[in-house]
Amino acid sequence: MGTLSGKQETSSNSNFMLEVREITKKFGDLVANDKVDFTIGAGEIHALLGENGAGKSTLVKMLYGSLQPNSGKIVWKGKPVQISSPSAARHLGIGMVFQHFSLFDSLSVADNIALSLDGEFTSREIAEKAQELSHSYGLPLNPDSIVGDLSVGERQRVEIVRCLLQNPDLIILDEPTSVLTPQEADNLFVTLERLKSEGRSILYISHRLDEVRRLCDRATVLRHGKVVGECDPSKETASSLANMMVGGEVEDIKRQSGNARGEEKLLVLKDISLAAATPFAMALKNISLEMYAGQLLGIAGVAGNGQSEFFDLISGEITIPDNEKITMRGQPVGELDINDRRKLGAAFVPEERLGHSAVPDLTLSENLLLARHASDNYAYTGLGPVQYIRKDALLQATKRISEAMDVRKSGDNPAASSLSGGNLQKFIMGRELDRQPSIMVVNQPTWGVDAGAAARVRQALIDLARSGSCVVVISQDLDEIFEISDVISVMSDGHLSEPIDAEKITREEIGLLMGGMADDEAGVANAH
C-alpha cells in the first residue's frame, strides 16, 4: 500500500497495526468522542462495543477518513497519519463495510464494485474476480444482478466482497451480521478467521454479544463517547458485556406464556399468489394467514425467500385487484394503498431504515409527518384550499417518541441521517408504536440495535400485542423470534408455512422449514 503525503511526525516503535491516541470529535456542543485511546494488533479481531450513540460510528468514520478529528492522533503501522478521505484510507490499506449500504440500486453488482476499485478493469474482469472471491469466502453473489433487486442480506454480501477486493490490511465491519442468517454469519466468521490467519486486522462492531465472545480477541467498550473498559470477550458473558456497555443491568423481557389470542380477526390474507416483479425478485405462492387480536407472529426465513414481497403485500406497497383477498379489521383492503391502510389502524416498519423508513436529509419531525400525515391530524386548513402544517404538534410528538424510546441525538430535531443506525431504528419503531396501532407489521425490528434498546423494542412489541393488537415480526434473528413470538411461521421460496405454537416447535424444525420442507415432513403440528 502507498503512503499519504504531509506526515510530519516521527514513527512510533509500536508493533500495533493501528493506534488511536486521545481522539476527540465534537459536533457543536456534543462531544461524540472524548479522548479515545485504543490499539489493534496485526492479525487481531478487535471488538468495538457500546450502546447506540456511544460514539462507535463517529470513531470508525474518522479511521476511514469520512470525518476529521478535532484533536488526537491516528498512528498507522507505527507512523502518525492524517486520513483525509476514504480514498486515502483505502490507499493506506484500511477498508470498511458500513452498516448503511453505499450501493447504487440501478447498477449491477459488478458495476457497484467497479466504482470502488482503483485501476482499470473491464466489467467482465470485475465480475469474474467478484464471483471467484465470493465463492472462495462462502459469500455467494451473482455479479450480473441489479442491486435494487437484492435482499438486504445479499446487499451486505456485495459490500463485504467489494471491501475484500480492495485487499485491505485492516477491515472495519459495522454490524456485519445484522442482516445475515445464522448460516451466512457462520460463513462470514470462517472468512474472518482466514483473514486473521493471513495477518490482517479486523475492527468488529456488533451488538450480537455471543458472536463477539466467539470471534474477537479483545474488546474496547465505549460509553457516552469515552472508553470505559477493555476486556477479553471470551472470558466474559453476554450479560456482563451488555452491563459494561450500558453501565447497569439490562432488563429481561417479560411475556406471558400460553395462548393470549382473542376472538377478533384483525388481519386476513386469502390464498394470494403474485408473480415476481423482476427477474431477481421472489414470487409469492398461495399466501394465507389469519391474525387475531392479542397475537404476535414471528416469521423466520433465509433472506431473499419472499419476506420483502410479503411485507409489501401487507403494507400496501403492492396492491392486488381482488379487494377481498386481504382484510384488516374486517375491511377489504387489497386495492388500498399504504395510507388508506394506515387510516384503518395499521402500522408498518420496513427493513431498510434510510431511504425506505426515513428520508436521510429530512428532520425527524418531517419524517414523522411523511409517515403519519394520512392517519394523524398534523395539518389544518387555512383560507381557501391551502393547508398548514402544525409544527408544534409535530415537534411535541417527536420529543415524546424520542423520550419513550431513549433516542440519542445531537439536537431536538436533527436530520435522520445524523442519527446512529440504532437510534434511527428506535425512532422509527417509536414513530409507529406511538400510534397504538391495531395491526403492526415489522421487518427486522432490532437490526443494528444494542442489547438494552433491543430489549426495549421487543418488550414494546409484546406489550402492543398484549393490549389487543396483532403484531407480525419478520426477523432473521431466531433468538428474537423465540423470545417474543406466540406463534411462528417460516418463509421459504415464496411460501408461508402454517403458524406453529412457539412453545411446541424447535430450532431444528424451523431449520427444516427454512430449507423448504413441508410442515408434515418437518414433523411439526399445526397450531390450529
Q: Can you give the pLDDT at residue 239?
A: 85
Q: What is the pLDDT of residues 435-480, one digit of tens each?
A: 999 999 999 998 777 777 888 899 999 999 999 999 999 998 888 8
Between residues 152 and 443, which one has the greater pLDDT? 443
DSSP summary character for residue 171: E
Q: What is the pLDDT of residues 247-262, one digit of tens each?
A: 766 666 776 655 578 8
Question: In this structure, is the dihedral angle defined by the CA atoms of residues 447, 453, 459 and 465, taken in order, positive or negative?
Answer: negative
Q: Can you give the pLDDT at residue 301?
A: 86
Q: Can you give the pLDDT at residue 78?
A: 92
Residue 142 pLDDT > 60:
yes
For β-strands 326-328 and 265-274, DSSP reports them as antiparallel
Collapsed DSSP state (helix, strand, coil) of residue 214: helix
Calculate what percentage of the chain has a pLDDT beyond 90: 52
What's the fold here for domain 265-522?
A: Rossmann fold (3.40.50)
Parts of the chain belonging to CATH 3.40.50.300: 16-93+168-246, 265-522
Q: Can you give the pLDDT at residue 4?
A: 27
Calculate what percentage of the chain has a pLDDT beyond 70: 89
Task: Using alpha carbons, select from 75, 93, 91, 65 the residue that is nearest to residue 39.
Answer: 75
Candidate CATH numbers 3.40.50.300, 3.40.190.10, 3.40.1480.10, 3.30.428.10; the one for domain 16-93+168-246? 3.40.50.300
Scan for cell 479486523, then name that residue.
Answer: 202
Residue 89 pLDDT > 70:
yes
The predicted model gives 274-288 an average pLDDT of 88
CA-based R_g, the chain, Å:
24
Q: CA-CA-CA-CA torsion for 119, 125, 129, 130, nearest 10 degrees?
A: 90
CB 97 within 8 A of CB 175: no
Tell how far CA 436 is from the center of its chain. Answer: 23
Interhelix angle 238-246/451-466, nearest 10 degrees: 100
Residue 357 pLDDT > 50:
yes
Name the band, by pLDDT with cuts 50, 70 and 90, for residue 522: very low
The predicted model gives 512-522 an average pLDDT of 59
DSSP summary character for residue 175: S
Q: HEC string of 248-280?
A: CCCCCCCCCCCCCCCCCEEEEEEEEEECCCCCC
Residue 10 pLDDT > 80:
no
Between residues 436 and 100, which one has the greater pLDDT? 436
